[in-house]
Structure 1
Amino acid sequence: MPTADTRIFIDDCIARVLAASDLDTSIRRARALGELLWKNNLGHYALPDLEQALLTRWLPSFVAPPRPAQTRKYLHVLTQAYASSGHTRVVEHLLESQSLQDAAVLVTEKAPPATLAKLSTASQACICVPKIRDRQEKIQHLLTQFCQYQTLILHIHPYDIDSVLAAGLARHFFGTRIHLYNHADHVFSYGHGTADIVLELSYFGWELSKIRGTHHKCVFAGIPLKLPETIAARADNANGHIASAGTAYKYKPGGGYSFPDFARVLLTKTDRSLMLIGPHLLTNWWWWIPALKMGKRAVFHKRMAYQDYLTCMKQASVYVDSFPLTGGTAFPEMAIKGLPSFGILSGAHGYSPADQLKSDSQTALLADLLAYLQQQIRPGIDHAAIMQQIRDVHAVENVAIRISRAESANEQEKQVPWPNPAPINCDFYEKIWATGKLFMPPIHNAPDWKLGVLFLRYWLQSRKLST
């Protein structure tokens, strides 16, 4: 939860945004503020009043474009579409569904040609908005695109106030519906105030929505995954390596958890090797001492081609999810492929029914994993039931159906549809950030000097209070 100092800092920043005499400066400052709050978890997760204030103030600057006689049903809106981005994969999967067939894609900033081709359908090319320096012209261009659709599904970066403002204008002029697909459910994001529906992905986002003040508009959608028809028979890899994969920063110790220490202790108690895909051994200093102690039994790969990744997993005996931050969809994907999967219920979990395979603590994880490696059984786990829940939650068509019915869902249909195995800790990421020695400056947006001074003063004061 934000402290009094945090609220003062944010109020000062909002005043700076609204004090701008022109639209371009106002939006530039809002984007810089959005990125600061996204990258630095101060415990403030939405700014609905700022969204409304910007819409009210700048509404007279825009005109309603002519609307086509026939509108299409859905437009997926991405800020940037990367080849390896989770946003891109989600949209790519949803385009293949039957329930969201009448849909197009628009990228507001940039996408490589190969990704644009992936996101194009037989009936509709993926549109990438040209680079427009004038902010009013860009938002007017987005409004012209948005008004051709009945429902916008926003898959935006947390700082993308341009798309949020254009969406608000489309609703004002044409009654366009706005759904925010909450990719960044654990951090600050614009869009929560403007959205009619927030499509949640996890128990973590579901609980955090109560702090955001948006719980009344939340509907669980889930993350769509390409799942095999059946769990394939795996080769007998009882003596194979232990595998783990995730973005490098997800293994950085914090919140009382340390994957490097866990890995070091694990290898003293088993003769298996450990394959780590994602950590950067040269730059991730938190691995240096554990890596020296583990020696050649720990193999590090910064990145790996997808087919090589699958081969590595086929040769593994078990999979361990990254922590303190979860590796994301890799965990349920490996579980449904039949690879015995382990992890920790850190309090920041809740993205898949596969979490029921996780342990309560780092100590319990070590004990559970060693017991399985020795006995090849997991007592107390209803494996078949969990696998069926993974299918029910993550199957592409099931996710698409929830999204298509979000406006009419009853209270039961809105809920996260599997039992949460442990309580959610909404301030998990705040505590990790608060103990860090550095902050993250904006890299996607031009910084604003006054916002930077306000943030630096706030950050230094917060560090004094914590010592």
Structure 2
Amino acid sequence: MMDREKLKKYIYKCENIEDIVTLSKVYERSLSNSNPVVYAEIDFENKLFDILKHKIDTNKISWPDKISGVLHIITVPYNSGGHTRLCEKLADIDADLLISGNEFVFDGLVNRLSTYFRNVYQIETCSVESRILAIIHRCAMYDNVILHIHPNDITTCIAIGILKRCDYSFSVYFVNHADHVFSFGKSISDVVLHISNRGYQIDKIIKNAKYKVSFIGIPIDMKEMPKLKTDIRNFLMSGASYKMKPDELYSAPRVVQSILGSDKKNKVMIIGAKGSDYWWWSTKIKYWRRLKIHEQLPYESYIAKISIADAIIDTLPITGGTAFTESYLNGLFPIGIKTAISGYSPLDQIKLESVCNDTFQLHQEVQAKLYKEVKIIHDPIRVKVRFNCALRREYHDVPEVLKYGVNNVNALCNKQKPYLGRQLFKEIITMRTISYKIKLKIIFGLFDSIRTSLEMLKKLIDK
């Protein structure tokens, strides 16, 4: 039977660099449902980078001259969601951006990023080793490297890990934008930049962490204090699909059912859910006229949807982060349920145990205080000041206003095996140096066998 410890041994012994990267991504995915939850594997990363330093031929690199300055690295930018906009808000016109992933990026998105950065670079080569060498070459030019990478971007981490082992002098700042899940990159970080109090709480349980920490927050475009509606009929919930998947304690569909069931005039719109999100099906069937579900939308379309809503419901069990506060600033009444995850916004302090119609009001003095605190935490100018302070090694502690809620670091642990996903399934099947016997042990030993079998069947049908 395959387990994570055996998987790590296969990674350490593997001779093929592409297969090492694939197996490392498998390891990251296997940790998504770990119990207790694992957020970083510093010892694993260090051992892996020590091994790969002797496997990757750094003599192939034409070592560049230092140009100083700052290089931001993003795995893949997106048109929607807060991840790419966070990168843009931390940009400087004299800083550069490297897109390190191999997914296709639309020219329009690259052009948009070019308005924030001096230069935007992409890596054209496809092979893993060539990508690692290209990232090393680019990073070697700069004094400071800012990571906005995906949690599973082991390729970028390998490149920086090897460069650090070549005694190059530079600093790495890790923007912890996905602090609710496991992420590669903590071993190579000099400073971890937190967007929430939850990130701070998680740092306390990470073993062998040697980096400094500093709070920056989530930058959100500020407006005048919003005039919240009192006659609330149109509700909005927006966020990534997985943030709305129910767990044993908290259920977004149950909250929506409560709202729709309390008054026949109430309507709810969900943005970010997928058609395959089975947890919404029964609610949609029951309230098919009054419940509208959309997949992720481009930012402009999302803002247009906000204009027809009266209230924003924060996603649960995982908070929506940017969307919740941004919608509040656009005049939507903020509604949230207390969960075991908090510390992203001052709006946590008005969250409730349950939802009922007579709770949709805020006294004027509470609203004024709330807006002031939101501005302190989320104003892009203040976020940028805190970011620049960190670059000067002047660190900020998490503000007290983000410490209202409960943070259970094991809130997202799951007894079920994680889902493998089609892309990673394909990468496992195409590994060159791993036998099919081991591949099947990995697929069925570490992941949900039923969903994986359906993926295999679909792949055969596609052929």
Q: TM-score range by the shorter chain?
A: 0.7 to 0.9
TM-fit CA distance, 1:151: 0.8
| 3-state SS of paired residue (2:125) | coil
Shift of the 216–294 alpha-carbon distance from structure 1 to 2, 3 Å rule, reads same
Greater alpha carbon shift after TM alignment, 48-57 vs 73-82: 48-57
Shift of the 21–310 alpha-carbon distance from structure 1 to 2, 3 Å rule, reads closer
Letter of the 2:183 partner, please give it: S
2:287 alignment counterpart: 294
Counterpart among 217, 222, 226 of residue 222 in structure 1: 217
2:455 alignment counterpart: none
CA distance in 2, matches of 1:256, 1:242: 22
Identity across matched positions, percent: 24
TM-fit CA distance, 1:346: 0.8
Give yes or no for contact 2:140–2:163 (8 Å, CA) kept in 1. Answer: yes
CA distance in 2, matches of 1:305, 1:31: 28
Counterpart among 64, 72, 79 of residue 67 in structure 1: 64
Shift of the 248–56 alpha-carbon distance from structure 1 to 2, 3 Å rule, reads closer
TM-fit CA distance, 1:266: 2.3
Q: Between Structure 1 and Structure 2, how many residues are aligned?
A: 434
Aligned positions of 1:46-445 closer than 5 A: 46-60=40-54, 61-63=57-59, 65-69=62-66, 71-95=67-91, 100-109=92-101, 110=103, 111-121=105-115, 124-133=118-127, 135-171=128-164, 172-213=166-207, 214=209, 217-228=212-223, 230-233=224-227, 238-278=231-271, 283-304=276-297, 306-359=299-352, 364-367=353-356, 370-373=357-360, 377-378=361-362, 382-406=366-390, 409=393, 413-430=396-413, 433-434=414-415, 436=416, 439-441=419-421, 443-444=423-424
Letter of the 1:68 partner, please give it: D
Give yes or no for contact 2:80–2:297 (8 Å, CA) kept in 1. Answer: no
CA distance in 2, matches of 1:168, 1:319: 42
Cα distance per residue 1:71-120 (max 9 Å; x no partner): 2321111111222253321112222xxxx443110001232211111111
CA distance in 1, matches of 2:305, 2:240: 17
Shift of the 289–85 alpha-carbon distance from structure 1 to 2, 3 Å rule, reads closer
CA distance in 2, matches of 1:460, 1:309: 33
2:445 alignment counterpart: 457
| 3-state SS of paired residue (1:277) | strand
Is 1:446 matched with 2:389? Answer: no
Give yes or no for contact 1:158–1:190 (8 Å, CA) kept in 2. Answer: yes
CA distance in 1, matches of 2:111, 2:35: 35
Letter of the 1:284 partner, please give it: D
Cα distance per residue 1:117-157 (max 9 Å; x no partner): 11114772311111331x33321211110011111111111
Shift of the 318–296 alpha-carbon distance from structure 1 to 2, 3 Å rule, reads same
| 3-state SS of paired residue (2:423) | coil
TM-fit CA distance, 1:162: 1.6
What RMSD over aligned residues (CA atoms) do the two structures have, in Å?
3.0
Letter of the 1:54 partner, please give it: L
CA distance in 1, matches of 2:447, 2:17: 28
The normalised TM-score by structure 2 is 0.84
Letter of the 2:382 partner, please give it: N
Give yes or no for contact 2:113–2:120 (8 Å, CA) kept in 1. Answer: yes
Letter of the 1:187 partner, please give it: V
For structure 2, list consecutive stretches of 5 or more residues without a partner in the other structure: 450-463
Cα distance per residue 1:245-281 (max 9 Å; x no partner): 2233332221312222222232232343222222658
Shift of the 239–12 alpha-carbon distance from structure 1 to 2, 3 Å rule, reads closer
CA distance in 1, matches of 2:295, 2:117: 38
Letter of the 1:423 partner, please give it: V
| 3-state SS of paired residue (1:117) | helix
CA distance in 1, matches of 2:108, 2:232: 40
| 3-state SS of paired residue (1:180) | strand
| 3-state SS of paired residue (1:371) | helix
Give yes or no for contact 1:220–1:415 (8 Å, CA) kept in 2. Answer: yes
CA distance in 2, matches of 1:439, 1:43: 16
Give yes or no for contact 1:199–1:221 (8 Å, CA) kept in 2. Answer: yes
CA distance in 2, matches of 1:104, 1:226: 23
CA distance in 1, matches of 2:280, 2:100: 38
Give yes or no for contact 2:52–2:162 (8 Å, CA) kept in 1. Answer: no
CA distance in 2, matches of 1:151, 1:371: 51
For structure 1, list consecutive stretches of 5 or more residues without a partner in the other structure: 462-467
The normalised TM-score by structure 1 is 0.83
CA distance in 2, matches of 1:318, 1:350: 21
TM-fit CA distance, 1:215: 7.8
Shift of the 18–385 alpha-carbon distance from structure 1 to 2, 3 Å rule, reads same
Give yes or no for contact 1:170–1:176 (8 Å, CA) kept in 2. Answer: no
Shift of the 347–146 alpha-carbon distance from structure 1 to 2, 3 Å rule, reads same
TM-fit CA distance, 1:13: 1.6
Give yes or no for contact 1:24–1:136 (8 Å, CA) kept in 2. Answer: yes
